[in-house]
């Protein structure tokens, strides 16, 4: 079937979503059939045209037997490997080395009480087509269950290896942190010449009372798959959730974060860095719901867009009427390099309480000409001057990453990317 013969724009994915045994799959499939593909008239997707993703004739992913893994992280982590969306225990580290937590394939735990209680409830479909697609037929995913008061000893590095050229891969993760638990995770897709594949991820996270969950998301796969992802989070009293998203490569990338601050003194911190060139499109779309009093949130995204790259930022902070003493800060700053680079930014505050301190803002500009002149007049090359100014521009985002090893690793990757601009 070619794109010109398709009458239903979802005809390329519907055959792959039939026959799933995951919970609520039938209801999700019904939603897939009912919901339209987002277009330019859909406000939340106005600048990210996903219709072209449905012109590819996808295949079901294959659990490849032989794969070559990239070098390990330069610091100590627990590695968890998925290949084309399927969990691979033979390629993963010993996941039972620490007591008080479960790290495993989610598909093996669907009948367990905590999974049955929370699966699909933190990230309901809510008329979102890609959530419905994922719910209709997840490929596999990670379950992390951390019991009360347990601190995971080292970061968990979740490596998604992609080898299929035109596969629909739908990871489904569930992260459950009980009272006072702490965990740090790194999610990273890797693959070569797999630009025709689509990774559609839904990750649900429950942060219990006084718990702390930190997520690092790295997107740095040249000629990699299109990536549509949703992080849905529910944070309870004094719970702390933070995520940093670094996008350096990708064809079409959409990162959504939806957070419900559901208990007093819950806190959310969102950080993002994107360095885009070529025709890379990256959309960071965030929602933070201040549902109860005395919660805080802090959001900072910065990007450099060059050549024909496109950056999109849409951040919404919603403060309910009873959510008094809310403190919420949101900022997006961008540098454009070249006449064809584009950025669309829309920070939003929606406030129904009166005792709040909230601010938002955005900037779009170019490298400071006076700063460039100052550096060049002191013998610094143009390339090195831009690199220095780019570092200064993004440094405050990187400094918010508390894991110094990961921060140093990201700085090296960003240096390599800046050298190519």
Cα torsion angle, 47, 50, 55, 56, sign: positive
**In the prediction, which pLDDT does 226 show?**
96
How many Å apart are CA 15 and CA 408, to the nearest integer?
A: 44
Backbone angles phi and psi of 347, in degrees to 5 = -75, 140
**In the prediction, which pLDDT does 418 show?**
87
**In the prediction, which pLDDT does 371 show?**
78
Query: In a 3-state reduction of DSSP, which class is residue 85?
Result: coil
pTM over 0.85: yes
Q: State the chain's maximal CA–CA distance in angstroms.
A: 67
Nearest to 329 by CA among 253, 418, 267, 246: 267
Q: Which residues contact 105 (CB under 8 A, 6 or more apart)?
A: 87, 89, 140, 141, 142, 143
Residue-level pLDDT, tens digit, the chain, 421 residues:
333 344 578 998 999 998 899 999 999 999 999 999 999 899 999 999 999 999 999 999 998 778 889 999 889 999 999 999 999 999 999 999 999 999 999 999 999 999 999 999 999 999 999 999 999 999 999 999 999 999 999 999 999 999 999 999 999 999 999 999 999 999 999 998 898 999 999 999 999 999 999 999 999 998 889 999 999 999 999 999 999 999 999 999 999 999 999 999 999 999 999 999 999 999 999 999 999 999 999 999 999 999 999 999 999 999 999 999 999 999 999 999 989 999 999 999 999 999 999 999 999 998 877 777 778 788 888 778 778 888 889 999 999 999 999 999 999 999 889 887 8
CA distances from 188 to 248, 290, 373 (A): 12, 29, 38
């Amino acid at each position: 079937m070619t794109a010109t013969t398709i009458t239903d724009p979802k005809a390329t994915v519907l055959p792959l979503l039939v026959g799933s045994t995951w919970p609520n799959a039938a209801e999700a499939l019904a939603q897939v059939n009912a919901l339209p593909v987002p277009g330019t008239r859909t406000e939340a997707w106005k600048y990210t045209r996903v219709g072209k993703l449905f012109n590819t004739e996808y295949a079901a992913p294959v659990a490849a037997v032989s794969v070559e893994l990239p070098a390990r992280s330069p610091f100590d982590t627990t590695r968890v490997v998925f290949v084309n969306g399927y969990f691979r225990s033979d390629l993963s580290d010993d996941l039972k080395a620490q007591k008080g937590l479960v790290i495993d394939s989610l598909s093996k735990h669907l009948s367990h009480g905590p999974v049955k209680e929370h699966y699909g409830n933190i990230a309901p479909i809510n008329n979102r087509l890609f959530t419905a697609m994922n719910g209709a037929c997840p490929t596999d995913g990670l379950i992390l269950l951390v019991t009360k008061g347990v601190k995971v000893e080292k970061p968990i590095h979740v490596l998604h290896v992609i080898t299929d050229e035109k596969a629909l891969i739908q990871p489904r993760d569930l992260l459950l942190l009980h009272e006072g638990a702490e965990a740090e995770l790194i999610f990273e897709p890797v693959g070569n010449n797999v630009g025709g594949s689509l990774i559609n991820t839904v990750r649900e996270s429950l942060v219990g009372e006084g718990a702390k969950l930190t997520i690092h998301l790295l997107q740095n796969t040249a000629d990699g798959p299109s990536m549509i992802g949703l992080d849905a989070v529910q944070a309870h009293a004094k719970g702390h959730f933070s995520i940093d998203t670094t996008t350096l490569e990708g064809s079409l990338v959409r990162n959504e974060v939806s957070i419900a601050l559901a208990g007093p003194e819950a806190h959310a911190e969102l950080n993002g860095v994107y360095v885009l060139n070529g025709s890379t499109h990256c959309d960071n779309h965030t929602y933070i719901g201040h549902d109860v009093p005395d919660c805080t949130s802090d959001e900072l995204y910065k990007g450099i867009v060059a050549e024909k790259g496109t950056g999109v930022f849409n951040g919404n902070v919603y403060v309910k009427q009873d959510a008094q003493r809310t403190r919420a800060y949101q900022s997006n700053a961008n540098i454009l390099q070249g006449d064809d680079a584009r950025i669309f930014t829309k920070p939003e505050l929606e406030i129904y309480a009166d005792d709040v301190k909230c601010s938002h803002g955005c900037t779009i500009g170019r490298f400071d000409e006076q700063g460039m002149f100052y550096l060049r007049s002191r013998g610094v090359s143009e390339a090195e001057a831009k690199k220095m100014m780019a570092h200064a521009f993004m440094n405050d985002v990187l400094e918010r990453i508390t894991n110094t090893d990961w921060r140093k690793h990201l700085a090296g990757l960003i240096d390599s990317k800046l050298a190519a601009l």
